[in-house]
């Protein structure tokens, strides 16, 4: 925990603004309370308090044990209101951009894994050794991955489980300061916090599991840029910044509202050099680390989505093919066991024949699970126990497959 402003890495004026806004919100406070809410040490708050007291911006109302109890003076309230018009941020003291760069680089993922460990990570999926042997080296290099092939064969499931190979945790700051502006970074939706009690830790950082962000067709260009909330005056970090030290999965690549070419042009430098560039509203451009593994998942032809220059920067291109008959049967048995659905001895083979009927020539990994869900819905509708009989499987398949 920093004990002075040199160690803190941000200006005293920014801390003064935080103290003023916090006091305006709380009404009255103590040094200990301010230190707790701003997540800094008491010596740092004490310097700010003495400065405000000297400027007659705070008034001491008494003592609580060995701590001052104080409020803003009339002049202090006016100044705090003025500062509140610029920014409403009054939370954890941010870390400096330089410190964020250093921490992100130091926490770059290093994966030691073999086929056995990877199979354990993917234990809830039926994955062939061939697939594991393609994914394993890609995870070790921690470079970007292009998963492609027909839909329904588990590309997204494979991508989402890659996070399991990480056995460590990372520190993520609550917020980052750039040119006096605050960028909110920690996001409880994305970052899974790990509670620890370490009095020596800088509380401006949160210990988290490595993040994994998944976006699909809803992705738009603004998600990759800083977003300023005009009301609060606080910037929200873009998705790739929140995903630093983790994985960023772009699902159904090629079907986003932004064109593949726009996305690829936006990231051709970050993927190559591991740095990205963001811009504040008033034109100040700055560099952030791009220390993450990007996984593109698509059922479209990669050559139709990107040119050779971009594909060259994605070193790992993994084809996720339709499943073989024996793999299909394994998936079927695992799904039925997991959902406790009784089956007949040749149910898997019977379902395979149905799935390959009406001109279909490929078995998809998703078929058993999807058809099992339909079986269960039919049984609930008819108020009877669910069973994977041939008649029931055929009925569910008729609902599932479109007539050709």
Domains of the chain: 5-92 (1.10.10.10), 100-108+126-319 (3.40.50.300), 325-400 (1.10.8.60)
For residue 404, what pLDDT band results from cuts at 50, 70 and 90?
low
Pairing of strands 181-184, 234-236: parallel
Using an 8 Å Cβ cutoff, are 197 and 232 in contact? no
Instruction: Give the tens place of pLDDT for each residue, 274-283.
Output: 999 999 999 9
Q: How confident is the model at residue 191 (pLDDT cuts 50, 70, 90)?
A: very high
**Torsion (CA) 323, 329, 335, 339 in degrees, nearest 10:** 160
Digit-coded pLDDT (tens) for 228-262: 999 999 999 999 999 999 999 999 888 877 888 78
Read off the pLDDT of residues 299-347 as tens digits, 9 standing for 90 and up.
888 777 777 777 777 888 999 999 999 999 999 999 999 999 999 989 9
Q: What DSSP element (H or E) covers 347?
A: helix 347-355
CA torsion through residues 360, 365, 367, 370, sign:
negative
Count of Cβ atoms closer than 10 Å to residue 403 Cβ:
5
- Which residues lie across from 206 on neighbouring strands? 172
**SS3 at position 172:** strand
On whether the CB atoms of residues 304 and 256 are closer than 8 A, the answer is no
Question: What is the pLDDT at residue 23?
Answer: 92
DSSP assigned state of 57: -
Contact 33, 117 (CB under 8 A): no
pLDDT, tens digit, for every residue of 36-74?
999 999 999 999 999 999 999 988 888 888 888 888 999
Which segments within 265-371 are labelled E, that is strand? Answer: 275-279, 285-289, 293-298, 316-319
pLDDT band of 135, cuts 50, 70, 90: very high
Q: Sheet containing 212-215: give its strands across.
A: 212-215, 247-250, 293-298, 145-148, 316-319
Task: Assess whether pLDDT exceeds 80 at residue 292.
Answer: yes
Check whether 403 has a pLDDT greater than 90: no
Contacts of 117 (CB under 8 A, 6+ apart): 165
Q: According to the model, what pLDDT value does residue 342 have?
A: 93
Amino acid 198: pLDDT: 85
**Structure tokens of 72?**
């803003």
Residue 100 scores a pLDDT above 90: yes
For 238, which DSSP code?
A: P
Query: What is the distance between the alpha carbons of residues 137 and 122, in angstroms, rounded to a whole number?
Result: 15
> What is the pLDDT, as a whole number, of residue 395?
92
Return the structure tokens found at 157.
């499931």
Task: Reply yes or no on whether the pLDDT at 96 is more than 70.
Answer: yes
- Name the helix (H) or strand (E) containing 130: helix 129-141
How many C-beta atoms surround the C-beta of residue 248 within 10 A? 22
Report pLDDT digits (tens) over 193-223.
998 888 889 999 999 999 999 998 888 889 9
């Amino acid at each position: 925990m920093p004990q002075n402003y040199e160690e803190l890495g941000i200006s005293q004026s920014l801390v003064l603004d935080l103290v003023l806004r916090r006091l305006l919100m709380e009404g009255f406070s103590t040094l200990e309370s301010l230190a707790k809410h701003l997540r800094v040490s008491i010596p740092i708050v004490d310097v700010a308090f003495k400065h405000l007291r000297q400027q007659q911006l705070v008034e001491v109302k008494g003592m609580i044990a060995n701590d001052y109890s104080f409020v803003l003076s009339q002049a202090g309230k006016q100044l705090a209101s003025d500062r509140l018009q610029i920014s409403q941020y009054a939370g954890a003291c941010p870390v400096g951009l330089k410190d964020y760069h250093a921490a992100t680089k130091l926490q770059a993922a290093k994966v030691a894994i073999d086929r056995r460990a990877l199979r354990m990570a993917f234990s809830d999926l039926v994955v062939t050794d061939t697939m594991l042997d393609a994914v394993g080296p890609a995870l070790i290099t921690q470079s970007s991955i292009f998963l492609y092939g027909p839909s329904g064969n588990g590309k997204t499931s494979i991508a989402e489980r890659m996070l399991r190979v990480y056995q460590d945790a990372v520190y993520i700051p609550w917020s980052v300061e750039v040119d006096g502006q605050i960028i909110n970074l920690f996001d409880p939706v994305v970052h899974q916090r790990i509670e620890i009690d370490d009095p020596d830790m800088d509380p401006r950082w949160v210990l988290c599991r490595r993040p994994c962000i998944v976006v699909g067709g809803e992705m738009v260009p603004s998600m990759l840029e800083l977003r300023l909330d005009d009301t609060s005056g606080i910037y929200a970090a873009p998705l790739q910044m929140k995903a630093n030290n983790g994985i960023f999965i772009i699902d159904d690549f090629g079907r986003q509202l932004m064109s593949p070419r726009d996305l690829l042009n936006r990231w051709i430098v970050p993927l190559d050099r591991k740095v990205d560039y963001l811009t504040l509203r008033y034109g100040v451009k700055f560099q952030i680390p791009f220390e993450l593994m990007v996984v593109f998942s698509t059922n479209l032809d990669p050559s139709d989505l990107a040119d050779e220059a971009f594909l060259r920067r994605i070193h790992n291109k993994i084809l996720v093919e339709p499943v073989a008959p024996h793999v299909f049967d394994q998936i079927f048995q695992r799904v039925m066991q997991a959902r406790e659905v009784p089956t007949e001895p040749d149910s898997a083979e019977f379902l395979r024949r149905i799935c390959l009927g009406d001109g279909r020539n490929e078995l998809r990994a998703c078929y058993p699970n999807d058809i099992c869900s339909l079986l269960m819905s039919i049984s609930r509708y008819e108020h009877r126990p669910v069973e994977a009989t041939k008649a029931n499987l055929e009925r569910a398949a008729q609902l599932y497959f479109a007539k050709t």
